[in-house]
Amino acid sequence: MAESTVTFRVFRYNPVTDEKPYWALYPVTVEPGDPVLMGLMRIREEQDGSLAFRASCRSGICGSDAMVIAGRSRLACKTQILHVLNAQREVVVEPLRNLSYVKDLVVDQTPFWEKFYQVDPWLHEDPLSKPPTTERLMQLPESEFDDISKASDCIFCQICYSECPVNGMDRAFLGPQALIKAFRFEADPRDHGTPDRARTLNNQEGVWKCRTTFNCTLSCPKGIPITKGIQALKREMLTVGLGRGGGV
């Protein structure tokens, strides 16, 4: 395969030594099929060992190497370099949006995880029932089970959080990832956590802040229909508000 040289334009910022962020340019030799992550690793190994970014499995399933590439939030391990070149044969790489910078392409994930835990992302037992002695099967039609299964595919990459315009305007908004995780358990017939979750979901920083722009669904690398799940949560919160119980 023919090699070629492209330029990586990388966002750099070290709060310890830099007054403000800046762009650094790195020439990188690439081959067809090379992902952006490969280019970043070559920069760090061969040109500048101080470049900071997160990466782990390199298989598109851990979500750790999410960043803004060519203006969109993507996984660096799944994005091919030659597919995102601009007219100057540059690959522009920036940190995720809506989260503060730690160093270079690394962001502070604390707000993301705090919102995730606010929705009680685990199965709540029925407080009036005895603990089960056998396996608890999920009795659902296949179509409804598919919705739960897809919501369970989330890899916590934070791409939907980065692409959400509401998160950009209001950092108190729970965000699409926390909401789709809440949907995963609210749609589970074995769960009894609606009264607890409703206090977080059924307010202006919960489901009602979502403006249904579909950015989260379009950007999700796992193809999760996030907007569909959030709309289901809205319908459920209406029934909760009307005193009809819960259950998506």
Q: Return the CATH number at 26.
A: 3.10.20.30
The pLDDT of residue 140 is 86
The pLDDT of residue 248 is 66
The 10s digit of each residue's pLDDT in 5-24 is 999 999 999 999 999 999 99
The 10s digit of each residue's pLDDT in 129-184 is 888 788 888 888 888 899 999 999 999 999 999 999 999 999 999 999 999 999 99
* pLDDT above 70: percentage of residues in the chain: 97
The pLDDT of residue 246 is 59
Domain membership flag for residue 248? no
In this structure, are 216 and 133 located in the same domain? yes
**What is the average per-residue pLDDT within 84-110?**
96
What CATH number is attached to the domain comprising 116?
Answer: 1.10.1060.10
The pLDDT of residue 224 is 97
In this structure, are 86 and 135 located in the same domain? no
The pLDDT of residue 206 is 96
Domain membership flag for residue 246? no
In this structure, are 131 and 185 located in the same domain? yes
In this structure, are 70 and 180 located in the same domain? no
Average pLDDT of the chain to the nearest whole number: 94
In this structure, are 98 and 132 located in the same domain? no
In this structure, are 146 and 125 located in the same domain? yes
pLDDT over 60 (residue 243): no
In this structure, are 95 and 214 located in the same domain? no
The 10s digit of each residue's pLDDT in 46-60 is 999 999 999 998 888
In this structure, are 223 and 116 located in the same domain? yes
> Which residue among 84, 107, 130 closes a domain?
107
The residue assigned the tokens 């950007």 is: 219
Domain membership flag for residue 10? yes
The 10s digit of each residue's pLDDT in 60-92 is 899 999 999 999 999 999 999 999 999 999 999
Number of domains present in the structure of the chain: 2
> Which residue among 107, 141, 160 closes a domain?
107
In this structure, are 188 and 138 located in the same domain? yes
In this structure, are 63 and 120 located in the same domain? no
Domain membership flag for residue 15? yes
Contacts made by residues 122-128, CB under 8 angstroms, sequence distance 24+:
122/185, 122/193, 123/185, 123/188, 123/190, 123/191, 123/193, 124/185, 124/191, 124/192, 124/193, 124/196, 125/192, 126/192, 127/192
Q: How confident is the model at residue 242 (pLDDT cuts 50, 70, 90)?
A: low
The pLDDT of residue 247 is 62
Range of the domain at 103: 4-107
> Which residue among 72, 107, 142 closes a domain?
107
The pLDDT of residue 1 is 55
